[in-house]
Structure 1
């Protein structure tokens, strides 16, 4: 029991460090409440670009403009003619539209494509009573169960019915209960989002 309490307190201290600059929201209603996203169980349709990602920018019939570019820590990319362009926070299609509009000032009817070739900004954390707590870099949309498996599963002290997902929501953190014991029934195994923290008490 003392061991379990110690690891739980340690987990709370990590959360405090991660969210010290942001206020924490009051506990949200149980999973499935009206204020939760209606399509939470489905993978989001469009990935939003983040720092450290790599993009393949292609401009038809313009090899000089076509290239692989990294997204800098400030969220911008650098391209000839255009200099710095904000990329983080946009989908590939949204960035394509931005680049097309900017390039139209220099060439007639530019045709641009944007592909995210390397995802490095999608990270979630798992803390508490798991075999390998830590921060995990994901390459695709991943469910709660998948991330728990990546963390090596539960320790013998884990309270599987009281797992909590802390999800960034602007300047606050949503608190989403997750009951592993009911995963075969009423508990939804939903996809995690970038920045989520899985707390296993």
Structure 2
């Protein structure tokens, strides 16, 4: 059996420091700062008030004006709020009628979270935005491209800050790993056009 030379103290310290920092780097890389969901027009909510069935609703549609109708509170602004903000608004309003209301707001159907694909894809139309999707995944949902698709001239229209933004996408560059940054995440109301 051959004996190996023991590690020098400096190299051992470096190795230990490296091993200890790997989990921290991995943790930092996996931590996302996802924004809390914002309620939108067309969403269907479930609102439950604990021990108060008269103030609970299984399905409430967020109307086009962004409001919901709720017993004794009449119209309540829901669009643009997080479920927690809407919960707090309803609890504050119900304190006039219930001594200590506890409300839970759940998104049953995220009807406001949709995107659209038009043009030379197999299945054009409206798609639900159920998770973080990229344009490559959106093309997969649409069944891929037709044989006439121009994969180098794809356009994504997006509303940001009241302005229309146009993003050029070259599918060929993405799949050839030339410009993977073009594989952008889809946002609600994005429209992708494949010429």
Q: TM-score, normalised by structure 1?
A: 0.70
- Match for residue 32 of structure 1? none
- Cα distance change of structure 1 residues 85 and 169 upon mapping to structure 2, 3 Å threshold: same
Contact preservation (8 Å) 1:129, 1:158: yes
Give CA-to-partner distance per residue, 1:127-175, whole Å, 9 cap, x none: 2222222222333443212221122211223222322211012432111
- Match for residue 112 of structure 1? 103
Higher helix fraction (1 or 2): 2
Q: Say yes or no: does 1:82 pair with 2:76.
A: no
Whole-Å separation in 2 of the counterparts to 1:110 and 1:182 = 55
SS at match of 2:85: helix
SS at match of 2:55: coil
Whole-Å separation in 2 of the counterparts to 1:92 and 1:50 = 11
Whole-Å separation in 1 of the counterparts to 2:174 and 2:82 = 32
Give CA-to-partner distance per residue, 1:65-96, whole Å, 9 cap, x none: 11122222322111111111111222211211
Structure 2, gaps ≥5 residues long: 1-31
Give RMSD over aligned pairs: 2.2
Q: TM-score, normalised by structure 2?
A: 0.72
- Match for residue 51 of structure 2? 61
2:164 equivalent among 173, 179, 189: 173
1:112 CA drift (Å): 1.4
2:147 equivalent among 134, 149, 156: 156
Greater relative contact order, per chain length (Cα 8 Å cut-off, separation 6+): 1
Q: Considering only CA atoms, is the larger Rg found in Structure 1 or Structure 2? A: 2
